[in-house]
Structure 1
Amino acid sequence: MSYIKTLMERRQNVWEQTKQLLDTAEARGGDQASLTAEEEATYQRLNTELDAIDARAKELHEAEQRTKDADEAFRALLDRSAEQKPSGPEGNTALRSFLTGETRSYEIRPEGRVDFRTLTKGSATAGGNTVQTTFYNRLMEYLIESSGLMSAGPTVLTTTSGEPIEIPIVTGLSSGALVPEGGQIPTSEPAFGKRTLGAYKYGATMKVSTELLTDTAVDLEGFLARQAGRALGNTFGAAAITGTGTNQPAGLVTSATAGVTGATGAVGVPTADNLIDLFYSVIAPYRNSSNAAWLAKDSTMAAIRKLKDDNGQYLWQPSLVAGTPETLLGKPVYTDPNIAGTGLGAKSVLFGDISTYYVRMAGGVRFERSDDFDFDHDLVTFRALLRADGVLADQTGAVKYFAGGAS
């Protein structure tokens, strides 16, 4: 624990150095972005160090979680042994049989109802300690980790099969009116559309040496879960952000509402006022939701770290607790590589209630293997398949974007 404390103290120190550097540039009479070449190099170095400390803290948090999961697994095995229960072809036994070629296919499904928000590698108090680590859960953790949108907490619908399902899309809100005594109450109904959620197929292949498969000392389940989860997460994550909705998911950026447009010719980088305006362009019920969050590209967040409000306070605040996201104007920040970077006309920052974006996942993740595909290299090929779709269910302004001004 002392090392973790030292790490977090170092993080706070680096952040203070970063603020001092920006304050010095501002004191010269320029804005926070007018750094000298030397100061810019120092700023980039400090940002890199912040990211490295974040990555190390995340590794420590994950290692602690794996230790807890392993302890729980050993306790379960000991309990099973004490009860003298026979070990049938279930769980990891069935998976290992599939991986080593004894069986030809293996379908991984969640056990019961799955709350995908608890599968993120966030704080233990958010549910991490209560989720049993299975191959399916580990795979989904890596899928979520690879997508900023999935980490931010969309609503996930799981179905056993892939037939089309229809959900209502809110396109307009109902309104009330002042009614005099004895007067007629006017009728006002919300406007609805309808969107069909399908099950588009995403796949990835992985090649594994025979030596790795037969080495029982290797965490084979963890290795394949990581490779498959990240491959599927990267592929579906891109569609969930920028998909057109035609023969692919309707991406969050595609369906979001315009919130703020930057000044003309301002190279597309949002100002502090732009972000504050974007924050308040989202109405209170969505803005105050526990699911409200920011989404942007890493490079965009690097620029946003420099911004202050009118009181000289930085909008961006670092997290001092391992496993919890940074905050911007008090709301968590998630980065997603599929969102456009800053630029003229680019939709580079999203804010709103991310739970209004619906992700549909049909069935489990299907794994299949081939011993013949790369026979001459003595490699076994695994194929992972996922069927999913997505759409923003509330299009009345639950999620809005900042776009860079015109040239």
Structure 2
Amino acid sequence: MVTIEALREKIANLATQANHLLAEKGDQVWTKDDQKKFDNLTDEIASTKGQVRNIEKMRELEADQYFKENGPTNKAEPGVTVDALVAVALYMRNGTNVTAEQAVAIRNAMSTTTPAEGGYTVPAEIATMVIERLKAFGGMREVATIISTTGGNPLNYPTSDGTGEVGEIVGENAPATGGDVTFGTVGLPVFKYSSKKIALPLELIQDSAIDVIALVVNRLAMRIARIQNTHFTIGPGTTAPDGVITRAGIGKIGSTGQTVTITYDDTIDLKHAVNRAYRASAAYMMNDLSVATVSKLKDTTNRPIWTPAITASAPDLLNGHPVAINDDVPVMAANAKSIAFGDFSQYTIRDVAGSTVLRRFDDSAFALNGQVGFCGWQRSGGNLLEPAAVKVYQNSAT
């Protein structure tokens, strides 16, 4: 069976070949054979990356994670102090069906809270696990600035775009003229996210060989991560966070006929639509489906402008800038804002500390089917604090 490690080695080897071809040709005009060879390499890289993603998705769906040797067990001896993770596992496996001593341990590790349906605020170890899993899905948490606040009260950030401001020359003993700075504010509200309830077989939850914490946390956090990334990307504001694509201005509109395409010149125009002050740390962002189109673009010498990454941890490059893959960015279509460019660290994600809540459900809706229900909650928000820092490419309407 092919392994992810073997596939990543294959990607690195293919990327090395593609980069070698780029370096070998230099500024020479590419022939059709050169282009075909390069396109075949990038197509195989994309296909292999798809294999990696498919394997990772299957791993998420399998409950094959086991406790490490000497790790948490299903029960604790009465009167024995247990750590936070063991207490959480006890709660997940048994709910309220525990000894008095175990119930005390659970209450000590997981403080009670009052969300819409009650539950426990999880200990710091579990909250950290959730945040790490949130980073693994979507793309926005990989490039945005993330802050944590102690509460969810309204928060407004002061903003000021000084990229158009200039100084002056004054004569000797002459006064300086006024140049007032215009300030604005950007709201950074938080929203209460739910994973929705999930149902898991009772036998699976009670199996001591299963890492019940990882199983439940992975499933709940994955759902919250996906909806958050959608909102951080294309959220409408007011009823959800403002998305980066929603807030960013239009930097380039495709010419008539470019409903599902983009040209090399368009990528350059989009880049230069962003002020130089924001380009030092800028990147492109697009849907993975758009990569197949963009990775085949050529410059004026017919040289590819896409540079495949050699290592799995490094990003691909477009016009020398990193490419962030975010599948919540719209795919290319009529009027679609399909590619963004800019400094995505200007998008700030706000997490409320201590807001990660977990509840187990044992009511008849689950019990009659031999199941246990779980639901998770977390409070977060996000906004692009400086809209001038990011611009988008919009495909033609016709």
What is the CA-CA distance between 1:376 and the residue it aligns to?
0.3
Q: Is 379-388 or 167-176 further displaced after alignment?
A: 167-176
Give the direction of change, closer, same or farther, for the CA distance of 1:394–1:360 in structure 2 (3 Å limit).
same
> Given the alignment of the two structures, is residue 10 of structure 1 paired with residue 19 of structure 2, yes or no?
no
**Corresponding residue of 1:275:** 267
Map 1:253-268 → 2, pairs under 5 A: 253-268=245-260
183, 199, 202: which one pairs with 1:192? 183
Instruction: Please give the root-mean-square deviation of Cα atoms over the aligned residues, in Å.
Output: 3.7
**Corresponding residue of 1:313:** 303
**Corresponding residue of 1:88:** 81
What is the CA-CA distance between 1:45 and the residue it aligns to?
6.0
CA distance in 1, matches of 2:292, 2:80: 52
146, 149, 165: which one pairs with 1:175? 165
**Corresponding residue of 1:215:** 207
Alignment-mate amino acid for residue 391 of structure 2: K
**Corresponding residue of 1:120:** none
| CA offsets 1:107-142 (integer angstroms, 9 cap, x no match) | 1365xxxxxxxxxxxxxxxxxxxxxxx433332222
CA distance in 1, matches of 2:390, 2:305: 20
**Corresponding residue of 1:160:** 150
Alignment-mate amino acid for residue 90 of structure 1: D
Contact kept in structure 2, 1:258 and 1:400, CA below 8 Å: yes
**Structure 2: where are the runs of 5+ without partners?**
60-64, 73-78, 97-105, 107-111, 113-118
Contact kept in structure 2, 1:7 and 1:57, CA below 8 Å: no
| CA offsets 1:19-39 (integer angstroms, 9 cap, x no match) | 99xx9xx8459xx7xx9xxx9
**Corresponding residue of 2:393:** 402
> Given the alignment of the two structures, is residue 375 of structure 1 paired with residue 374 of structure 2, yes or no?
no
Contact kept in structure 2, 1:168 and 1:193, CA below 8 Å: yes
The structure whose Rg is larger is: 2
**Corresponding residue of 2:198:** 206
Give the secondary-structure state (helix, strand or coil) at the position aligned to 2:322.
Answer: strand
150, 165, 180: which one pairs with 2:141? 150
Alignment-mate amino acid for residue 378 of structure 1: G
The alignment's TM-score, normalised by the length of structure 2, stands at 0.76
CA distance in 2, matches of 1:393, 1:40: 39
CA distance in 2, matches of 1:171, 1:4: 45
**Corresponding residue of 2:102:** none
Contact kept in structure 1, 2:39 and 2:296, CA below 8 Å: no
- Identity score, percent: 25
Give the secondary-structure state (helix, strand or coil) at the position aligned to 2:356.
Answer: strand
CA distance in 1, matches of 2:305, 2:272: 14
Give the direction of change, closer, same or farther, for the CA distance of 1:382–1:269 in structure 2 (3 Å limit).
same
Alignment-mate amino acid for residue 160 of structure 1: T
Give the direction of change, closer, same or farther, for the CA distance of 1:335–1:5 in structure 2 (3 Å limit).
closer
Alignment-mate amino acid for residue 309 of structure 2: S
Contact kept in structure 2, 1:286 and 1:353, CA below 8 Å: yes
What is the CA-CA distance between 1:354 and the residue it aligns to?
0.9
**Corresponding residue of 2:46:** 47
How many residue pairs align between the two structures? Answer: 350
Q: Is 163-172 or 259-268 further displaced after alignment?
A: 163-172
348, 352, 364: which one pairs with 2:338? 348
Give the secondary-structure state (helix, strand or coil) at the position aligned to 2:239.
Answer: coil
CA distance in 2, matches of 1:57, 1:233: 16
Contact kept in structure 2, 1:260 and 1:403, CA below 8 Å: yes
